[in-house]
Structures are given as C-alpha cells and as structure tokens.
Amino acid sequence: MAEYSVFSLVRNALTGHKNWQRAWRDPEPKPSYDVVIVGGGGHGLATAFYLAKVHGIRNVAVLEKGWLGGGNTGRNTTIVRSNYMLDDNSHFYEKSLQLWEQLSHELNFNVMFSQRGVLNLAHSDGQMDRFARRGNSMRLNGVDAELLDRNQVKKMVPHLDFSEEARFPIYGGLLQPRGGTARHDAVAWGLARGADRLGVDIIQNCEVTGFKRSGNRIEAVETSRGTIGCGKIGFAVAGNTGYLASRLGLKLPIESHVLQAFVSEPLKPFFDHVVTFGAEHFYLSQSDKGGLVFGGDLDMYNSYAQRGNLPTIDHVMRAGLAMVPSISRLRLLRHWGGVMDMSMDGSPIIGKSPIDNLYLNCGWCYGGFKATPGSGWVFAHTIAEDAPHPLNAGLRLDRFERGHLIDEEATGAVPGKH
C-alpha cells in the first residue's frame, strides 16, 4: 500500500480523489494464528502493530466484533497526558506520551496529536498543596509540570470564572505543557493501516463468543465467523473484559460502568487548552472542527449499555457552567456513552492471566486513550516474551492479591476512580 506524502496528495487531488487505495485489507480469517488479539480498539491494534514491528511476530489477527474503533477508542474525549504521581503509572504513561510524540511519523498517518497543554484547576489551598506535591513527583520522574498561580491561569484561559461570584474561586492550577489531544479515529485507522502493512489480519464483524480449552490453555476461539486457532491470545476489549472473562470462569477486580461525553455546536477557536475543573468532575477542550468536547463523571452504576442517563447530563452541564459561564447559551450537538473497564484501584491491568496462554489488557478506567501506544508497546512485549516489560511489571493482575495497589486517589477499593 502506497506511502502517504504531499506528492500522493497532489497526485490524487489532480485525479479528483478517485484513485485512493483502501487503507487496509479485509481478509477472511485463517484457520489459526500465532497470536489472536480480541478487540479492534486502539489498544488491540497498537499491540498487533508492535508485535509485528518490534517483535517480528506477523502471523497475528485482530478480531473485532463491530467496526474498528467503534468502542471507547471512538467514543472518548481524546485527552492525552502523563501527569501521574505514583511510579508505576508515571513511567508507563510517560513512555506512552513519548510514543505519541512520534506516532504520526511512525505510522505515516497524521493522528493530529496536538500538545496544547493540560491544565488542572485548583480551588483551595489544600488542592494547591496537593498539586505541588503531584507536580514535584512528576518532575522527579522526568515529566514536565508547572504549578501556576491564579494570575497565570487567568492569562492563559481568560474565559474561566474569575468573577467575585464564582462558586468555586480559582486559586491556580497544575499544567502539563506536553499534554493535549489526538484525533481518535485517526489513531485507530493509522494503527490499523500500520499493522496491516506488516501482515496483520484485521477481521471486523467477528465477535468472540466462546473458547476451546485444553488443560490450562486456550486452543481456539469460537467466533461469529467460525473457530480460529490461537498460539497465544490477548484480550483488549475494555468494558467487555468482564463478560469474556466470565466465559472462562475468571473473576477480575473490575466492574463495567458507563461514561458519557458531549460535543457542542462548532464555534470559532476560543478554547486553546485542555482544562479540568477541580471542584467537580468536568473537563473541556475544543476540537479542530470547533465543537467543545467535554465530559464528567460515570453514571455510577454497573452498565454494559453504551448509553447513559439524564441526571448525569444535567450534572455535567452545571459543572461546565460553573467553570466557563460564557458557554451557557451554547447548544449541545451530540452525546454518547462508552462502557468503561473500572479497576478497583483506578490503575490498568496489563499482564499474564491465570490461563497459560491468555494475556490481559484492561482496567483502563477513565483514561486509556492516552495509553494507546504505550499499552500496545508493553502488551506486545508481554505476549512475545511471556513476561512483562519493566514498564508494566507493576501493573500486573496479582497486585490486588499481594496488596501492591496503585491507588492514585488513595481511597481504597472502589471501581469509580480516575
């Protein structure tokens, strides 16, 4: 398949854009593969891409029950950052951010990674102290962080509520300048094209419904397109992990919950950064098409429904108005929900499972989009080497049982964390 370049763009423009080739093949499934990845979201595709590219394992299939990126990869609010405090998260997410910084070049596909800065607002002295601590931890781990006072925040984002009447006055904020957003569909498409070019079979409309086991191994997966044998198998199915695991009799420290997101009618550029409210759960950025993209909290009850409920919408809008009063007359264009794999300590699980040739990639909570390349990088390593990469050694499944939680919020075992 042809390289994309300014020349291919000009050539195709001159021929009326009628001769673009398809970006990836649509193969029939083979009887078996060395590695089967279940889930064609960003994580599954990135895993296949790095398996082929870094580990030379090319007899790989990605099985997707719907269409590529139709899960959370295509439903999220696209924020990318690495502003974590605890070492296991910090080093992992920073690696992911570094991969983002070169992803468009690596894939020959513009994922529109925009490092516009992610700013977390603080509304009390206590919150400022906490941000100072988190910022210092980040800097000690080599991650960029700047603590801003009220005036610096005001200069940067003047449309926030700096008035006397503000319900939650802004004291300052923690900025990660290298954070930002990326175009979610482009990430799925670019990774799919990249993996396909290295020989990976991407098979859509192929739902995994069961497993053929022998001893403590999975020999094959039953799918809506027939039985497919597998040497090794990796799950990257986000909110559907619990369901697939139950088919294997595995119980996991995960609950599936619904998270909603929203986009407004398009506006001229007015919001240049990603800003998160510190008094409520709300965050906002402006897309390249001009729509304001924002989100809030989970609906807070277990759900596999991919749709949310009105009270949460009301709550998110109220928080939005408290942060940016000038959007009060804006109309909402669309809203949607995604099924989130909420782990019990708020951090992801990437590693081996109790079944010999099954590997798990799940527990992404609110924030797995930013992890896409990093997750693929370490998951491919884990599958290829049958051992974790140093960057996901701490993110293993048995950390809960061993008491080695990675709990950024330090609030104990609850499945609603960030």
Partner 1 sequence: MLYIDCPYCGSRGHEEFTYIGDATKKRPDSAEKSDSAWFDYVYLRDNPRGPHLELWHHSLGCREVVKVLRNTLTHEILGAGRPGDEIAMPDAETER
Ligand X SMILES: Cc1cc2nc3c(=O)[nH]c(=O)nc-3n(C[C@H](O)[C@H](O)[C@H](O)COP(=O)(O)OP(=O)(O)OC[C@H]3O[C@@H](n4cnc5c(N)ncnc54)[C@H](O)[C@@H]3O)c2cc1C
Q: What are the residues facing 337 on neighbouring strands? A: 260
Q: Which of residues 283-312 bind partner 1 (CB under 8 A)?
A: 300-305, 309-311
Q: Report d(CA 89, CA 345) in Å as an integer.
A: 12
Binds ligand X by CB under 6 A, chosen from 29, 70, 169, 229: 70
Smallest separation, CB 307 to partner 1 (Å)? 8
Query: Angle CA(397)–CA(403)–CA(407) in degrees, nearest 5?
Result: 80
Partner from partner 1, ligand X, none contacting 369, C-beta within 5 to 8 A by type: ligand X
Q: Which of residues 263-322 bind ligand X (CB under 6 A)?
A: 295
Partner from ligand X, partner 1, none contacting 71, C-beta within 5 to 8 A by type: ligand X
Binds ligand X by CB under 6 A, chosen from 36, 71, 190, 397: 71
Q: Which of residues 223-252 bind partner 1 (CB under 8 A)?
A: 240, 242-243, 246, 251-252
Q: Report d(CA 139, CA 85) in Å as an integer.
A: 10
Rule CB under 6 A: is residue 262 a binding residue for ligand X? Answer: no
If one counts every other C-beta atom within 10 angstroms of the C-beta of residue 71, the result is: 27
Rule CB under 6 A: is residue 238 a binding residue for ligand X? Answer: yes
Query: Angle CA(20)–CA(21)–CA(27) in degrees, nearest 5?
Result: 155
- Classified as helix, coil or strand, 37 is strand
Tracing tokens 């986009």 back to the chain, one arrives at 263
Q: Report d(CA 348, CA 366) in Å as an integer.
A: 10
Nearer to partner 1, 30 or 307 (CB): 307
Q: Considering only 66-74, 100-108, 136-144, 309-317, which stretch makes contact with ligand X by CB under 6 A? A: 66-74
Rule CB under 6 A: is residue 53 a binding residue for ligand X? Answer: no
Nearer to ligand X, 78 or 141 (CB): 78
Smallest separation, CB 70 to ligand X (Å)? 5
Q: Which of residues 248-277 bind partner 1 (CB under 8 A)?
A: 251-256
- Classified as helix, coil or strand, 132 is helix
- Classified as helix, coil or strand, 43 is helix
Partner from partner 1, ligand X, none contacting 401, C-beta within 5 to 8 A by type: partner 1
Smallest separation, CB 342 to partner 1 (Å)? 9
Q: Considering only 122-130, 212-220, 362-370, 399-407, which stretch makes contact with ligand X by CB under 6 A? A: 362-370
Nearer to ligand X, 70 or 325 (CB): 70
Nearer to ligand X, 141 or 240 (CB): 240
Smallest separation, CB 22 to partner 1 (Å)? 34
Smallest separation, CB 341 to partner 1 (Å)? 9
Q: 29: closest CA among 221, 163, 309, 217?
A: 221
Query: What is the DSSP annotation of 256-277?
Result: EEEEEEEEEEE-SS---SEEE-
Partner from partner 1, ligand X, none contacting 400, C-beta within 5 to 8 A by type: partner 1
CA atoms within a 13 Å half-sphere pointing along the CA-CB vector of 55? 26
User: What residues contact 214, with CB distance under 8 A and at least 6 apart?
Assistant: none
Partner from ligand X, partner 1, none contacting 34, C-beta within 5 to 8 A by type: none
Q: 241: closest CA among 347, 344, 362?
A: 362
Strands (DSSP E) found in 57-104: 60-63, 79-80
User: Judged by CB under 6 A, how many residues of this single chain contact ligand X?
Assistant: 39
Nearer to partner 1, 313 or 332 (CB): 313
Q: Report d(CA 199, CA 5) in Å as an integer.
A: 22
If one counts every other C-beta atom within 10 angstroms of the C-beta of residue 185, the result is: 14
User: Judged by CB under 8 A, how many residues of this single chain contact partner 1?
Assistant: 24
Give the pair of three-digit tokens for residue 37.
């990845």
Q: Are residues 374 and 95 in contact, defined by beta-carbon separation less than 8 angstroms? A: yes
Rule CB under 6 A: is residue 237 a binding residue for ligand X? Answer: yes
Q: Which of residues 76-95 bind ligand X (CB under 6 A)?
A: 76-79
Helix locations, 141-183, DSSP H = 150-156
Q: Are residues 284 and 320 in contact, defined by beta-carbon separation less than 8 angstroms? A: yes
Q: Which residues bind ligand X (CB under 6 A)?
A: 38-44, 63-66, 70-73, 75-79, 207-208, 236-238, 240, 244, 259-261, 295, 338, 340, 364, 366-370
Q: Which residues bind partner 1 (CB under 8 A)?
A: 240, 242-243, 246, 251-256, 300-305, 309-311, 344, 400-401, 413, 415
